[in-house]
Amino acid sequence: MLEQELLQITQTQEVQETIATPHGIKYVIDGTIHTPRGKSLQLRTVWIVDAGQTEPRFVTARPLKPAQEEIPDEPKA
């Protein structure tokens, strides 16, 4: 199930960043997966096309931090 959710991100979302490395080209793609409990989770995924290869492979994923709510300034004493 997780694999399908991650692949769905690559098929429906745009590449946010492309990074050339000595090992190949990395692609950063943000998207949303759905957990078995029905929750949505925004992730940043990283994929690489290794040097000399044509197919991307999954490298890592991490949750994107939700937008922080603005905290009002505390009154000065």
The model's pLDDT over 5-35, given as tens digits with 9 standing for 90+, comes to 999 999 999 999 999 999 999 999 999 999 8
pLDDT of residue 3: 94
Q: Say if residue 58's pLDDT is above 70.
A: yes
Instruction: Tell me if the pTM is above 0.95.
Output: no
CA distances (Å), origin 60, targets 6, 27, 29, 34, 46 = 10, 11, 11, 17, 5
